[in-house]
A and B are shown apart, each in its own frame.
Chain A
Amino acid sequence: MRSPAEAVPGDGLARAPLVFVEEAHDLPVVLVQASLRSGSAWDPPGREGLARMTVEMLRRGAGGRSRAEIDETLDRLGADIGASAGADSISLTGHVLKRNLEPFLAVFSDVLCAPDFPENEVEKLRREMLAALDEMREDDHDLCSRHFARHLYGDHPYGRSSLGTEASIAAITNGEIRDFYLTHFADANMIIGLSGDVDETTAAAAERAVARLAHRPAPPAIPLVDPPVPAGRRLLLVDKPERTQTQLLIGHPAPRWGTPEYDALQVATTAFGGTFTGRLMTEVRVKRGLSYGAYATLHGGRGRGHLDLWVFPSAKDTIETLALVLGMYDDLASRGLAEDEIAFARRHLVGHFPLAIETPERRLSYRTDLEICGLPADYLSRYRDRISSVTPAAVADAVQRYVTPRHLAVTLVATAAAVAPEIEEARERLALDEVRAVKYDSY
């Protein structure tokens, strides 16, 4: 087993995968995970969806086993293997009953190390990816998030949807999928995670199971330049018919995870809208009943992420809610937070820590994310000290530097015929520098 400190992603050196183990022997179940230091941010322009298609293809024929045989074996073992693709990482995750771990690892090994990429399954997956776009558009929050990411990040790799587009999915070839696999599924680019009813012997068995991975250096990490700060208040209206409610996301870039500025902004975000009694929920939901939820969230990753505000008022209350939230954000930037709000947020984050790491799966997930984002392994053990030591001055400084209420990406999913005239009428009052609309099924 290697310590995380020895791993430097993308340094061109070959090495065995890292193995993380989180033991808990109360239940006879095991989670097995293979995570890559590559994700959909690596999708080439015009090939968005490639990372997801690659990881989805793995269990559709591997080691000479057909898709049907793999499905049959996993179900017989009471097991599953799921694929996921985020901007910074791709993962294969399996759940299995402890007594069936050995035959499960044989399947997991084939799927991870020896995929066959059958041509007919690639075509089938291509059609499934297109159907997944249809299903995404049925969920207004997912739809809003997709348009918001593109609106905020533009051409930055974090602006690309891991689901791809109709055009990019049509363009991806089986050869490109194989190349992506060969480039990224290298032992030096991988973190193997085990949690649950496992021990050193189990870990050794898992290491043997993945020893067939190609011995190759990790591919070069893609450069993640800072995302652009929106030029003014730019509103994008995603027009979808028959909406009785408006989904609304507002945001801008944030500092990088793991930096002191990130910690300080985390405290500020928590005080502003990270809890049920924060400013945002109190004003929007508790006092006015305008939205069921009202949240501020800081998103961290390998590169700089973003801070967003999410509310979903009734269609008739769209402008009132937008004006309220923008006004509150103006106020945060100009007047900052009170010391008692900062102290409360620090106590909340520190006190929440035992819940955040309660299960072995959560601990494993944290360790893996830290490794992928290049943060030190002691980040977790030092987390409470770091948050406790965030000063009001540091919070004020982070708010001053990063909270930009005059430079925001604003995205709404609503019915334009009902909402667009009201937006136009309120444009000056809301200080909107740009308003444009797109059809909901255009992206």
Chain B
Amino acid sequence: MTQLLVEAPLGDLVARKHRLDNGLDVILVRDARSPVVAYQTWVRVGSRHEQPGKTGLAHLFEHLMFNESENQPAGAFDRTIEAIGGETNASTWVDWTFYQTNVAREHLDMVARLEAERFAHLVLRAPQVTSEREVVANERRFRVDDDVDGFLSERLYALAFESHPYHWPTIGWMEDIQSFTPEDCATFYRRFYAPNNTTVVLVGGLEEAEALATIESSYGALAPQPLPTADIVIEGPIASERRACFHKPVMSDKLYMGWRSPPLVHPDHPPLEVLNEILFGGQSSRLWRGLVVDEIASSVSGGVGAFHDPGLFEIHATLKRARKAVDAESLIDAEIARLHDEPVLASEIEKAQARLESSFQWGLRSANGKAQALGHFEATTGDFRNLLRVAEGYQRVSADDVRRVARTHLRPEARCVLVAEPT
């Protein structure tokens, strides 16, 4: 029997989560106005579930899911979806892997059959694994080795985390990518691609009862599996500053800074998001004015990790040619010290709240956007309703909250600093 577990409003729509007997969760959102359906499969496995020496396996496996299955020859999945005008893609991050297929709404049944087929009956052979290793190695060159921002981001996490899996990049270390075998992939598939480790999210022009019946008929026969227990130790705070400098073919200095930040569901997360907006959100924010308007940097941004475990609060700045990274660093230090000492203005909090509300609403514009927001919170926190709670949480943040999280999380000694200088 499929159970309705929870339901919650999403704008003028309703999101409902059901659970099949085998543990597969299904989140349905009906939008009768939509001509399309976003079909997403969220598997609760990412680089956080990998081991040293096998980094990048979750991501490589994501690529292989577009290959051959027992009842579909290689390439047939994409060919069938493309023939009806659909879009397919997938993404792997630290806490999850998700597969997205967007189609005109009349094709939901066909997509469900194809998705269930590759979810349960993938074929993993040596030629595909060998070829895909090369594709991923090229992806790594594109995103990391020849991209200075990708490189610095990878180095920042490697410096900030020593034993926790967030230490390694989701795409994996190059030597690991090039050593995977079909057996590695088959073991991974059996271990993590279980109905009770997965949520299917459907948003768009669908009929809920029909869509649920389609999912039941496509996935209902799959057996649940025992899931590996995550043996992950959360690292203690960074005791003293960690720092590194690199030389790269850039025109000017780049500065990356990072402090450990709370998990996505932690009560400090919304105040830290508001703090981030006060520093970097919009062109009237403190550090946009201090760094970009005052011509020290050409760009600056900040972001709070949205992870299952503690992540990073990151700051990135690209300096003007005449300036050095230390010029930006000292201004950033001064602003963070000010957050420790002085309450932020009520008007600054209101601006941050308005911007966060706007960003939240625009993120829900398409069926795909709604499904991604729901899937990310469901896979990362175990409950999609946290999406709505976080959005509401922004509206309750006070100046005291901002000062508290600045003092707790943004201590000067508990940070990592990376600089890239011109070769």
**Are chains A and B native binding partners rather than an unrelated pairing?**
yes
Query: Closest CB-CB distance, A274 to chain B, in whole Å?
Result: 9
Q: Is the CB of B252 within 8 A of A276?
A: no
Minimal beta-carbon separation of B128 from chain A (angstroms)? 9
Chain-B contact segment, one of A35-43, A125-133, A225-233: A125-133
Residue B134 lies at the interface, judged by CB distance under 8 Å to chain A: yes
- Cβ–Cβ contact B138 & A314, under 8 A: yes
Contact between chains at B78 and A277 (CB < 8 Å): yes
Instruction: Report the minimum CB–CB distance from A134 to chain B (whole Å).
Output: 4
Q: Find A76's partner among B103, B131, B299, B351 (CB 8 Å cutoff).
A: B351
Decide: A127 and B358 in contact? CB cutoff 8 A.
Answer: no
Residue of B nearest to A78 (CB): B354
Chain B neighbourhood of A277, CB < 8 A: 75, 78-79, 82
Does A400 make an interface contact (CB < 8 A)? no
Q: Which of B277-328 contact A (CB under 8 A)?
A: 281-285, 289, 293, 295, 298-299, 318, 320-321
For B84, the closest partner residue in chain A by CB is: A351
B82 near A348 (CB under 8 angstroms)? yes
On chain B, the residues within 8 Å of A282 by CB distance are: 75
A353 touches B298 (CB 8 A): no
A351 touches B141 (CB 8 A): no
**Which of B35, B87, B138, B350: most chain A Cβ within 10 A?**
B138
- Expressed in whole angstroms, the Cα–Cα distance for A158 and B130 within the complex equals 42
Q: Are B295 and A290 in contact (CB under 8 A)?
A: no
Q: Mark B85-111, 1 if CB is under 8 A from A, else 0.
A: 111100000000000001111000000
Q: Report yes or no: B285 in contact with A75, Cβ–Cβ below 8 A.
A: yes
In the complex, which of the residues A75, A134, A291, A352 contacts B355, with contact meaning CB atoms closer than 8 Å?
A: A75
Chain B 129-158 residues near chain A, CB threshold 8 A = 130-139, 141-142, 145-149
Q: Choose one: B33, B146, B298, B362; the contact of A243 (CB below 8 Å).
A: B146
Main SS of chain B's interface residues?
mixed
Whether B221 sits at the interface, judged by CB under 8 Å, is: no
B330 located at the interface, meaning its Cβ lies under 8 Å from any Cβ of chain A in the complex: no
Residues 27-46 of chain B, each 1 if its beta carbon lies under 8 Å from chain A, else 0:
00001011110000000000
Residues on B with C-beta less than 8 A from A138 are: 148-149, 250-251
Residues on B with C-beta less than 8 A from A135 are 251, 298-299, 318
Instruction: Tell me how far the C-beta of B360 lies from the nearest C-beta in chain A, rounded to whole angstroms.
Output: 10
Chain A residue with Cβ nearest B294: A124
Asked if B367 is an interface residue, CB under 8 A from chain A, the answer is yes
Task: Establish whether residues B102 and A292, one from each chain, have CB atoms under 8 Å apart when the complex forms.
Answer: no
Chain A residues, Cβ within 8 Å of B78: 275-277
CA A124 – CA B11 in complex, angstroms? 42
Q: How many residues of chain A are within 8 Å of chain B by beta carbon?
A: 67
Q: How far is the CA of A287 from the CA of B135 in the complex (A)?
A: 10
Interface string of A427-443 (1 = CB under 8 A from B): 00000000000000100
Query: Are B423 and A241 in contact, with the CB atoms below 8 A?
Result: yes
Chain B contacts for A361, CB-based, 8 A: 365
Does B357 count as interface, using CB distance less than 8 angstroms?
A: yes
Whole-angstrom distance between the alpha carbons of A314 and B135 in the complex?
10
**In whole Å, how far is B298's beta carbon from the nearest beta carbon of chain A?**
4
Structural contact, A352 and B86, CB atoms closer than 8 A: yes
A347 to B85, Cβ gap below 8 A? yes
- For B76, the closest partner residue in chain A by CB is A277
Q: How far is the CA of A312 from the CA of B284 in the complex (A)?
A: 39
Assembly CA distance A350 to B82 (angstroms): 11
Contact across chains for B284 and A75 when beta carbons are under 8 A apart = yes
Render A233-254 as a binary contact track against B, CB cut-off 8 A, 1 for contact: 0000000111111000000000
Task: State how many angstroms separate the Cβ of B359 from the closest Cβ of chain A.
Answer: 8
A285–B355 Cα gap in the complex (Å)? 41
A355 vs B88: C-alpha distance in the bound complex, in angstroms? Answer: 12
**CB of A344 closer than 8 Å to a CB of B:** yes
Given A241-B249, A358-B34, do A74 and B282 touch, yes or no (CB 8 Å)?
A: yes
* Pairwise interchain contact B145-A244, C-beta atoms closer than 8 A: yes
> Shortest distance in angstroms between A342's beta carbon and chain B's nearest beta carbon?
13
C-alpha spacing A338/B31, complex, angstroms: 40
Given contacts A75-B285, A282-B75, A314-B138, contact A355 B31 (CB under 8 A): no
* B239 proximal to A (CB < 8 A): no
Q: Which of A253-306 contact B (CB under 8 A)?
A: 275-277, 282, 285-292
Instruction: Find out whether the CB atom of B145 lies under 8 angstroms from the CB atom of A245.
Output: yes
Partner of A80, one of B83, B138, B282: B282
Contact of A351 with B285 at beta-carbon distance under 8 Å, contacts A26-B12, A134-B321 already known: no
Chain A 48-86, CB within 8 Å of chain B: the 1/0 string?
000000000000000000011001101111111000000
Expressed in whole angstroms, the minimum distance between the Cβ of B143 and any Cβ of chain A is 9
Which of chain A's residues have a CB closer than 8 A to the CB of B146? 140, 242-245
Q: Can you name 8 A-B residue pairings with CB atoms under 8 Å?
A: A27-B11, A135-B251, A138-B149, A140-B146, A314-B138, A347-B84, A348-B84, A351-B104
Given A28-B361, A128-B298, A244-B141, 19 other A-B residues pairs in contact with their CB atoms under 8 A: A26-B12, A26-B31, A67-B293, A76-B351, A79-B358, A95-B362, A132-B298, A134-B252, A138-B148, A138-B250, A240-B249, A242-B423, A275-B78, A277-B79, A286-B74, A344-B79, A347-B83, A358-B367, A359-B366
Enumerate chain A interface residues (CB-CB to B < 8 A): 24, 26-29, 67-68, 71-72, 74-80, 95-97, 100, 124, 127-128, 131-132, 134-135, 137-140, 240-245, 275-277, 282, 285-292, 312-314, 344, 347-355, 357-359, 361, 441
Listed in ascending order, the chain B residues whose CB lies under 8 Å from chain A are 11-13, 31, 33-36, 66, 74-75, 78-79, 82-88, 102-105, 130-139, 141-142, 145-149, 248-252, 281-285, 289, 293, 295, 298-299, 318, 320-321, 347, 350-351, 353-355, 357-358, 361-362, 364-367, 423
- List 3 A-B pairs, minimum CB-CB distance, nearest first: A351-B85, A289-B134, A78-B354
